[in-house]
Amino acid sequence: MKSINITPNLVTSIISIIFGIFIFLKIPTEVEKPLLLFGQSSSEIDPKIVPGIISFMFFIFGLYTLFFEREDKSINVWPSFSKEMLLNVLVTIIFLFGYSLTFESLGFVVSSFLLIFFLSNYMGNVNLKFVTLIAIIFPVTVFFIFVNIMHVFLPAFPFLEMRIGNFLIM
């Protein structure tokens, strides 16, 4: 018996077909019904039409990929990852998640300092004094330009706003 070669296109096609069916099944509950005014719909067209078309597209293009491009040789290989590559990407994503979490609570300058300092060190080959300097100067400069020159809001340091004259610097 011939074994099935699990290619990225095969997986993509199956996900697409399942997602198409999922959208179709969710249409009754996930699409709000239009109000009835004097017995007539307030929407001129049926709001289920577009979601229906999209679910059909996922389904049909999934089938197309399954039947015609499943074994496509040119652009159908799994990416090769070494353990180190995977670790680097995962660690960076964790750093980014942490940055998103602390962005507002610690303020832009402090959270950015932490990200620059730790990520630069993680990536290696940095001069500790230099990277500390960059991690301070760069966020303060960006904050200063955004807040004082472009008048755009960025979260300030929550415990103590730091100012030089009229200018908010942290």
Query: What's the min distance (Å) between Cβ of 61 and another protein?
Result: 4
Q: Is 89 in the site for another protein (CB under 8 A)?
A: yes
Nearest CB to another protein, comparing residues 9 and 170: 9
From residue 43 to residue 72, the character string flagging contacts with another protein as x (rule: CB under 8 A) and all else as - is xxx-x-xxx--x--xx--xx-xx--xx--x
Tokens of 115: 């990200």
Pairing of strands 40-41, 36-37: antiparallel
Q: Is the dihedral of CA 141, 107, 104, 168 positive or negative?
A: negative
Q: Is 22 in the site for another protein (CB under 8 A)?
A: no
Residues in the chain: 170
Q: Is 88 in the site for another protein (CB under 8 A)?
A: yes
What CA–CA distance (Å, rounded) separates 128 from 121?
8
Tell me the residue type at 106: L
Taking CB under 8 A as the criterion, which residues in 125-164 touch another protein? Answer: 125-126, 131, 134, 138-139, 142, 146, 150-155
Tell me the residue type at 9: N
Query: What's the min distance (Å) between Cβ of 3 and another protein?
Result: 22
What CA–CA distance (Å, rounded) separates 151 from 130?
30
Taking CB under 8 A as the criterion, which residues in 94-113 touch another protein? Answer: 96-97, 99-100, 103-104, 108, 112
